[in-house]
Chain A
C-alpha cells in the first residue's frame, strides 16, 4: 500500500468532476488538485447525453421563466433558492463552455441556437446536434489538460471514504491495472460519480453507473436525499434501453399508440397540433409522459414486441434534411441498434430508467454534512430537480454546481489543517476487507444476483408503486444482501480485475436499492416521479419535504424529513397543455 496526497481530490471525471477540477485550479492555482476516476474521463457517462443543456440566452427569455418551469417541473420539491442560483449562473457557465470551444449548433447570425425541450415554456436548450453531452465532456476534458496543477488517477476505483471525527480526509482506492490498494489523503473531497441507473434492468445508463459515490457517502454517514425519485425517460429503444433523445420530440416527433393515435391528449397534456407546442403534448415533462405510457398499456392500446410493450415515436414528418442536421445520432442509433430508418419508419419506444433526482444531501455549494466532503452532478441532491427533473437541466447542473463545489472546496482545502495520521487504521481495515473479497470462495455469481436485484426493483419501484410491493422489494433486497456475502469470484488476478470491481459495485447498488425502496415506502403520497397507486394525491401538508436516509449501525436505513425551501413560487397545480 502506498499513500498519495493532494489538497483537493475529485472522485469522478465526468461533466461535474472536470468542471469542478478546472474551477478549483483557477480559484486556487497554489493547490494540488487531483481527479480519481474508475474510467478515463472521456469514457464517463456524460458522454451519452444527447439533447442539450438549458440556460437563458435569448432576449425573449427570462431567468424567472426558467425558474418557474424548473419548480413546476419538480412538482415543488426543489429548493427555490437553489433554482434561483442555478438559472442565474447557467448562462455564464454555458458561455464559458462556448469559449472553451464546445461546438454548439448555431443560428445563421452566428449566435448559439436553442431548441424547445420538455416542460420548458421558452426555447432555451443549447445543443450540439444530438451529441451534446459528448461534445461537452470532450471540451471539458481537453480544456482540463492545460491545467498543470490537476493530476489524474485514471482507472482507480474508490472503495472507501476516510472520515475521522466528522471530517473527510481522503479515500482508499484500487489501482485497477495493478490491483494495488492505495490511500489518497486529501484536505477536501468532491464526489462527482454520477447516478445509479444500473440498479434497474432497463436503463439508458452505462455499465459504470452504479451509484459509487452515493454509497460511499452513505456508508460514511452522510444522508441520501429524495432517493425515491427515479426518472423514467419516456423514449428508450425496447431491447437495449438506448436513449432516443427528447430532442426528437422537440424537433416535431409524435408519440402514437397502436392505432396511430397521439394518446398524450387523453392525459391532460394538451391538444395535438402538427407543430411542437411548448409545455404541451410531447413536450410535457418526463414523469407525466412515462405515466401516460403505463395507462395506455393498461387500456390495451400499446403494441407488443419481443422485448415487451411499446408505443411508437414518429419523426418522419421532420424530414430527412432536419433529421440529418439536428438528430443524426438518433438516426445512427436506430439504424445500428434497432435496424430502423426513422426517416421512413416508426421508432418503437418505451419508458426507461434514466436519472436519479435523489443523491447525497448537499447545500447550495455542494457541501455535505460531513466536513470536507462535497458532491456535485447526478451523485448529489442539491435539490434543483425535486420530484422530477426537466430534460436539459442536468448537463447545466453539472457545470453550475460542479464549478460551485470546485471553488468552495478549494477554499476549504486552502484553510484546512493537514489530515495527519488519523486514518491509517481505517486504511489497513479496508485493505483487509478487499483482500478477503478477492479470495472469497462462495457460491453466488455476481451476474445472477445483479439480475435478481434489477428485476425486483422494476417490480417494486417502477413508474407506479404500492406499499405492499415496496415492502416485498425490501425483503428481496435483504435476502440478496445476505447472498452477496457469499460471492464466487472466478478471477483471482491482481491485474485489471474487473470482476472484483463488479463485486464492489454490486454491494454499492444493493445498499442503494434498499434506500430507494425504504424512501419510497415512507412517502405515502404521489408527487412527480414517485407515484403511489395506494396514495394517488400529492400531500403538501405532510410531504412538502425532502426525505433524508441515514444509515444505521446495523445497515438499515432510517428516514427523516427536511422542509423544502420556498422563495417566490408557492405550491400550485402543474399545468401542461393549457
Chain B
C-alpha cells in the first residue's frame, strides 16, 4: 500500500457539541500535494462534512489559513512533505478567532479593524480622472509597496500574543494597511489614521517579538509597520510636549 499520513483535525459542530473534538483521517502521502490538497482529499473521498474555506490554491486569495501543529499556516502554500508521515499533523482553526464550524473562524472583527484604519486615499485636491494619473516615482512606490502585499489571511493575528490577550487591538495587518496608505505619496490621511490608531491601547503592548512578521506568507513585515507607527506617535508626542500650542 502507498504511504499515508494521518491528519488529526479539529471538528466543531455547534448544533451537536459544546467543545471541539479531534478526528483523524489517513490520506495518501502524495509528494506533489500541498496540505490543502490533503484536506480536499478528505472532503471529496472520505468525509464530505469536514468544513474549511479555500479558493485559489495559489497563495493569493487568503482563505485557507489554519493552525498546523500549533503554527499559523496558509495551507495551500505548505507542501505536505514539510511533515513526516510517521507523525500525525494536527490541524486546527486559526487561534484567537471565534470558531463557526470545524476549521472556519468568524472574521467579522477583523473586517471591522481593517475598515477602521480608513484604508483608502485621503486628500483634499482630488483631480478629475480626465486629467492624468498622479505621478509617483518608482522610489515612492517602493516606500509602501511591501505593506500593500497583505492578502488578509490573518495568520499574523493568530501569531500575535497581544491579539490573544486584548481582542480590541487593531492588530498587525490593519496597522500595516494603515501604513500602506500613510506612506503612499498620493495620500494625505496619515493624521486621521493616527487618531484612529491612538484609540487602541493595544499597540503599546506589542513586544517587538515579531511573530507576525515570521508567519506572514507574503513578507509584509507588519512588525516593521508597527515600529514605524510607534516612532511617528512618539515624535508627535515629543512635538506636542515641546511645542504645546498646537504647532506640529
Interface residues of A (CB under 8 A from B): 39-40, 42-45, 47-48, 57, 92-93, 95-96, 98-101, 103-112, 131, 134-135, 138, 142-143, 145-146, 154, 177, 206-208, 239-240, 242-243, 306, 329, 332-333, 336-337, 445-447, 489-491, 493-499
- Give B98-140 interface residues, CB cut-off 8 Å to A: 100-102, 104, 106-107, 111, 114-115, 118-121, 126-127, 129-138, 140
| Interface residue SS majority, chain B | loop
11 more contacts with CB within 8 A, not counting A111-B135, A206-B56, are: A39-B55, A99-B133, A104-B133, A106-B136, A109-B135, A138-B148, A207-B54, A242-B57, A332-B59, A447-B43, A497-B51
Let me know if B13 and A493 touch, CB within 8 A.
yes
Contact A101 B13 (CB under 8 A): no
Contact with A along B163-188 (1 / 0, CB 8 A): 00000000000000100010010110
Bound CA–CA A397/B141 (angstroms) = 26
Sampled A-B contacts (14; CB under 8 Å): A42-B61, A45-B56, A92-B130, A95-B133, A101-B187, A106-B136, A177-B106, A207-B55, A207-B56, A242-B57, A329-B60, A337-B34, A496-B100, A496-B102
Note all chain A residues with C-beta closer than 8 A to B145.
Answer: 103
Please indicate which of the listed interface residues A99, A145, A206, A306 has the most CB atoms of chain B within 10 Å of its own CB.
A99
List residues of chain A with CB within 8 A of the CB of B58. 48, 240, 242-243, 333, 337
A48 in contact with B104 (CB, 8 Å): no
Given A43-B62, A495-B14, are A145 and B133 neighbors across the interface (CB < 8 Å)? no
Residues in A with CB closer than 8 Å to B102 are 496
Cβ of B126 and Cβ of A99 under 8 Å apart? yes
B47 & A490 in contact (Cβ 8 Å cutoff):
yes
Q: Is the CB of A48 within 8 A of B61?
A: yes
Nearest A residue to B127 by beta-carbon distance? A99
Q: Using a CB–CB distance below 8 Å, which chain B residues touch chain A?
A: 13-15, 32, 34, 43-45, 47-49, 51-63, 77, 100-102, 104, 106-107, 111, 114-115, 118-121, 126-127, 129-138, 140-141, 144-145, 148-149, 151-152, 177, 181, 184, 186-187
Residues in A with CB closer than 8 Å to B114 are: 142, 145
Contact A208 B55 (CB under 8 A): yes
The reply to whether A491 and B51 form a contact with Cβ atoms under 8 Å apart is yes
Contact residues in A for B137 (Cβ distance below 8 Å): 106, 108-110
Q: How many Å lie between the Cα of A395 and that of B182 in the bound state?
A: 27
Given contacts A40-B107, A103-B141, A447-B45, contact A495 B13 (CB under 8 A): yes
Chain A residue contacts of B61, Cβ below 8 A = 39, 42-45, 47-48, 206
Query: In the bound complex, do residue A491 and residue B126 qualify as a contact, i.e. CB atoms below 8 Å apart?
Result: no
B141's partner among A96, A106, A497 (CB-CB below 8 A) is A106
B104 touches A496 (CB 8 A): yes
B116 to chain A, nearest CB (A): 10
A60, chain B: closest CB distance, angstroms? 16
Q: Judging by beta carbons under 8 Å apart, are A99 and B134 in contact?
A: yes
Q: Are B135 and A96 in contact (CB under 8 A)?
A: no
Say which residue of B131, B148, B152 sits within 8 Å of A103 (CB atoms): B148
Beta-carbon contact of B100 and A491 below 8 Å: no
Residue of A nearest to B79 (CB): A336
B57 touches A240 (CB 8 A): yes
Contact partners of A131 in chain B: CB under 8 A: 60, 149
Inside 8 A of B140's CB, which chain A residues have their CB? Answer: 110
Q: Are B48 and A499 touching (Cβ within 8 A)? A: yes
CB <8 Å contact, A146 and B118: yes
User: Closest residue of chain A to B119, judged by CB?
Assistant: A142
**How far is the CB of A105 from the nearest CB of chain B, in Å?**
7
Residue contact A101 to B121, C-beta cutoff 8 Å: yes
Contact indicator B101/A447 (Cβ below 8 Å)? no
Residues of B within 8 A of A96 (CB): 129
> In the complex, which residues of chain B have a beta carbon less than 8 angstroms from the beta carbon of A95?
129-133
Minimum CB distance partner of A446 in chain B: B48
The CA of A104 and the CA of B61, in the complex, are separated in Å by 20
How many whole Å from B133's CB to the nearest CB in chain A?
4
Contacts of A242 in B (CB 8 A): 57-58
| Closest CB in chain B relative to A101 CB, distance in Å | 4
Q: How far is the CB of A380 from chain B (nearest CB, A)?
A: 21
Chain A: minimal CB distance from B99 (Å): 10
Give the distance to chain B from A15, nearest Cβ to Cβ, in Å: 13
Return the 5 tightest CB-CB contacts between A and B, nearest first. A110-B135, A490-B48, A447-B44, A491-B49, A142-B119
A96 to B144, CA, bound (A): 20
- Chain A hits for B77, CB < 8 A: 336
Once the chains bind, are A100 and B141 in contact (CB under 8 Å)?
A: no
The chain B residue sitting closest to A44, CB to CB, is B61
Measured CB to CB, the nearest residue on chain A to B218 is A332
Q: Is the CB of B56 within 8 A of A47?
A: yes
Kindly report which residue of chain A lies nearest to residue B152, judged by CB atoms: A42
Shortest beta-carbon distance, B12 to chain A, in Å? 9
Nearest neighbor of A450 in chain B, beta-carbon distance: B44
Taking CB atoms, residues of chain B closer than 8 Å to A239 are 32
Question: Contacts A445-B48, A489-B48, A495-B14 given: A134-B135 contact, CB under 8 Å?
Answer: no
CB distance from A243 to the nearest CB of B (A): 8
- The smallest beta-carbon distance between B125 and chain A, in angstroms, is 11
Within the complex, what minimum Cβ distance (angstroms) separates B171 from chain A? 16
Closest to B52 in A: A498
Residues of B within 8 A of A306 (CB): 32
Min CB gap B173→A, angstroms: 11
Q: Are B181 and A101 in contact (CB under 8 A)?
A: yes
Instruction: Write the nearest CB–CB distance from A138 to chain B, whole angstroms.
Output: 7
A110 CA / B177 CA spacing, docked (Å): 23
Give Cα A108 to B102, complex, Å: 50
Q: Which has the most chain A C-beta neighbours within 10 Å: B14, B52, B148?
A: B148
Closest chain-A Cβ to B212's Cβ sits at a distance in Å of 19
Report the nearest B residue to A100, measured CB to CB: B121
- A98 contacts B134, CB within 8 Å? yes
